[in-house]
Amino acid sequence: MTDQIAVQDLTLEEAAEELARLAEVIAGHDRAYHTEDAPKISDAEYDALRQRNREIEARFPELVRGDSPEARVGAPPSETFAKVRHAVPMLSLGNAFSDEDVTEFAARVRRFLSLKEDEALAITAEPKIDGLSLSLRYEGGRLVQAATRGDGAEGENVTANARTVDDIPTSLKGDPPEVFEVRGEVYMTHADFAALNEAQAEKGAKVFANPRNAAAGSLRQLDSSITRERPLRFFAYAWGEVSDLPAATQTEAVGLLASYGFETNPLMQVFDTTEGLLAHYHAIEERRATLGYDIDGVVYKVDRLDWQARLGFRSREPRWAIAHKFSAEKAVTRLNAIEIQVGRTGKLTPVARLEPVTVGGVVVSNATLHNADYIAGIGNDGQPIREGRDLRRGDWVTVQRAGDVIPQIVDVDISRRDNPEPYQFPEKCPECGSHAVREAGEADTRCTGGLICPAQAVERLRHFVSRLAFDIEGLGEKQVRAFWDLGWVREPADIFTLEARFGPDGTGLQKLSKLEGWGEKSATNLFRAIDERREIALERLIFALGIRHVGETTAKLLARGYGSWAAFAAAMERAGEEGEAREHLLNIDGVGKVLADALAEFFAEPHNRDLVARLLEHVTPLEAERPAAAADSPVAGKTVVFTGTLERMSRAEAKARAESLGAKVSGSVSAKTDIVVAGPGAGSKLTKAEQLGIQVMDEESWLNLIEEK
């Protein structure tokens, strides 16, 4: 928790590392809480971890992990849908991983059917859609039931939700069989997925790891009005119970599905040779990145339905079909552009903008390119990477998620290159036009613009108005940038003089109302939102300054530790030298040397002090909550365990109150426990405390101890 970097400031790599760490830490706390019944941190600390994880995921959707804590939230909806027994089981498919496996599949089928050498075996090939399978039962041409696959024998009844999906007809066209179970895949396109996640992130709601999870989460909603809002689609490719199917081949049957009003996949084709199948497989793999939806392989099916019937099933897999999977961790896609991001410190980081592609279950649209050498094909150690091949705009590249999460470009296909121009790393900062220099022996290129470079300033302003800082409604990233470009807001204080600067007679309002995207109402609202922040919680102010390593949690600790801005600022100005001020700072739980130095450096810089002084002409920091009580309290820093029944307050209240006085509340007794508060009915925890010689008191004595005098 110490030295936590603000989410806004995380680089792609740092974010990936942080998400990995949070996944592990949160899983550990979940275990401690649920399984071991012995939480190790307070609810507030736990919530802060979850919140940080959510914020990082919202900012870097491509880094959302398969084991994300968010993915594990809540009870599985399977408990809440009625069960449906499938009239014909929904089976899975065997897998082929290589061309040889496919040759072997065809040979197996030929052997099973004892086909003569010259007898043709027609097999279809079509994309394997990465969604979730659904069985739709039609009676008399009307949709009567929709069920998920479940375990194959029994699924969940999601009829109400299926009815909201545009691609799923509620009544069939033409003259369908009396009973007809259509099977296929529910999925979401990349574009719809991206828009959904963006909207979710804006609402502060859960973001999905990949289109498949988003489709599954959307279909399995208890409230079908939510499903209706979600852009789900459906491809039909198979069937279950059918009263009478007027088709002799897979191809004809799929043609019927289309004639009844279903979407069928346009890439399905039928071949007489294995070579044909494999060529189609590779053609589909090449097009994978540009299809606009996720597929994870190609499915081959014996075309003749009478042969399918003869081949039948082995355990849960048909002998007449197989899935030829793509390798999961790598994918080929197009490098659409190389963009340069300028960080708060002026570092120019090249970022690859990719045609979105799924790699190991996650949609990747960006990859870090680190620095100029990396693009040129030179590694950190000066050795060639990608066998020395450089990267250019328009290249077809192989993307990999290394170490599970960081998307990387591991190879480039020179044979498909049509761009004759090697990439030129900019010599000027794309943000301010200042020279960008690369010092001898350094890998990074930096903008020399310093204070005049808007990238740094805008980044700082964005942080200043962000949700955990000043949280000014109506002043988001876009507006900050626009106001910067207009020269209206160049530093935090400018926000608070915005209205007044254009004249006290409302000309500010008029001027802003004329700006694109602004009306009188939104302008009035903005000025009101700004006014609401003229008083600000101390911890928010400290966080808003964007001091290196000062995250939300650290800001809180500092605010509680000093109580007022005056005390904090005075102490920080002296925190650079050995002495009482530095000692006090280091004594705050969670503050280490790195953080202390960062704080001291910030306050040693005159222009930082001036900037804050100008801000404080318009903004009044509030005193932090109960700083004195926490510091002076007899239980500050103590670890307390409550056990048995409390009579004067609830467990939750007891815990909250103890924590506000600086105590740590734990669920289990150990040698580290300082006090056990035991009520009637206390059992093993009390026994253990007595064995360990820990101070035990009843509720009354506890209240006497903490009663504020």
Q: Residue 660 CA to chain centroid, in angstroms?
A: 32
β-pair partners for 157 = 147
DSSP secondary structure string, 232-265? -EEEEEEEEEES----SBHHHHHHHHHHTT----
What does the alpha-carbon distance between residue 233 and residue 130 come to, in Å, rounded to a whole number?
Answer: 12
State which of residues 15, 123, 129, 397 lies at the interface with ligand IVH (CB under 6 A).
129
* Nearer Cβ to ligand IVH (96/512): 96
Report if residue 239 touches ligand IVH, rule: CB under 6 A: no
Please report how close the Cβ of residue 152 comes to ligand IVH at its closest, in angstroms.
8
Tokens of 59: 């900012």
CA distance 200 to 229: 12
The reply to whether 543 sits near ligand IVH by the rule CB under 6 A is no
Yes or no: say if 449 and 431 are a contact pair by the CB < 8 Å rule: yes
CA pair distance 182, 146, nearest whole angstrom = 9
Nearer to ligand IVH by C-beta: 299 or 600?
299
Pick the closer one to ligand IVH by CB: 128 or 462: 128
Could you say which of 9, 18, 57, 126 contacts ligand IVH (CB under 6 A)?
A: 126
Q: Alpha helices of 122-262 — where are they, by DSSP H?
A: 159-162, 190-203, 211-219, 224-229, 250-259
Binding test (CB under 6 A) with ligand IVH, winner from 15, 26, 93, 412: 93
CB of 78 to ligand IVH, least distance (A): 17
Q: Which stretch binds ligand IVH (CB under 6 A): 64-72, 86-94, 335-343, 365-373?
A: 86-94
Q: Which of residues 348-407 bind ligand IVH (CB under 6 A)?
A: none
Using the minimum distance from each CB to ligand IVH, give the nearer residue, 264 or 673: 264
Confirm or reject binding of residue 92 to ligand IVH (CB under 6 A).
yes
CB of 128 to ligand IVH, least distance (A): 4
For residue 545, give the nearest of 613, 479, 592 by alpha carbon.
613
Please name which of 660, 659, 652, 654 lies closest in space to residue 697, comparing C-alpha atoms: 654
- Answer yes or no whether residue 237 interacts with ligand IVH by CB under 6 A: yes
Residues 170-189 that bind ligand IVH (CB under 6 A): 185
- Residue 138 near residue 144, CB atoms below 8 Å: yes
Shortest distance in whole angstroms from residue 465 CB to ligand IVH: 45
The catalytic residue positions are 128
| Separation of alpha carbons 551 and 564, rounded Å | 18
Residues in the interface with ligand IVH (CB under 6 A) total 15
What does the per-residue mask of binding to ligand IVH show for 659-678, with x meaning CB under 6 A?
A: --------------------
552 belongs to the binding site for ligand IVH (CB under 6 A): no
Q: Closest by alpha carbon to 107, among 227, 247, 332, 277?
A: 277
Q: Considering the complex, what minimum distance in angstroms separates the CB of residue 264 from ligand IVH?
A: 9
Q: Which of 96, 238, 362, 378 binds ligand IVH (CB under 6 A)?
A: 238
| 224 contacts ligand IVH (rule: CB under 6 A) | no
d(CA 527, CA 60): 31
Nearest-5° Cα angle at 17, 11 to 18: 85
Burial of 678 (0-12, 13-18, 19+ CB in 10 A): buried
Task: Decide whether 126 or 539 has the Cβ nearer to ligand IVH.
Answer: 126
Tracing tokens 């009307």 back to the chain, one arrives at: 142
Q: Is the dihedral of CA 648, 652, 653, 656 positive or negative?
A: positive
**What is the chain's alpha carbon radius of gyration, rounded to the nearest angstrom?**
31
How far apart CA 439 and CA 443 sit, in angstroms, is 8
Report in angstroms how near the CB of residue 100 gets to ligand IVH at its nearest.
20
150 binds ligand IVH (CB under 6 A): no
Stretch that binds ligand IVH, among 88-96, 399-407, 543-551, 616-624 (CB under 6 A): 88-96
Residues 315-354 as x/- pattern, contact with ligand IVH by CB under 6 A:
---x--x-x-------------------------------
- Contact range with ligand IVH by CB under 6 A, out of 16-24, 89-97, 329-337, 389-397: 89-97
Residue 133 contacts ligand IVH per CB under 6 A: yes
Residue 299 binding ligand IVH, by CB under 6 A: yes
- Would you list the DSSP string of 612-650? HHHHHTT-EEEPPSSHHHHHH-TTTT-EEEEES--SSS-
Q: Which stretch binds ligand IVH (CB under 6 A): 87-95, 153-161, 376-384, 478-486?
A: 87-95
Taking CB positions, which residue lies at the least distance from ligand IVH? 133
Residue closer to ligand IVH (CB basis): 321 or 537: 321
Q: Does 91 bind ligand IVH (CB under 6 A)?
A: yes
Q: What angle do CA 172, 173, 176 make, to 5 degrees?
A: 70
The candidate with the shortest Cα–Cα distance to 260, out of 334, 348, 181, 190, is 181
Q: For residue 283, give Cα distances in angstroms to 264, 268, 280.
A: 19, 12, 5
What is the contact surface with ligand IVH in residues (CB under 6 A)?
Answer: 91-93, 126, 128-129, 133, 149, 185, 237-238, 299, 318, 321, 323
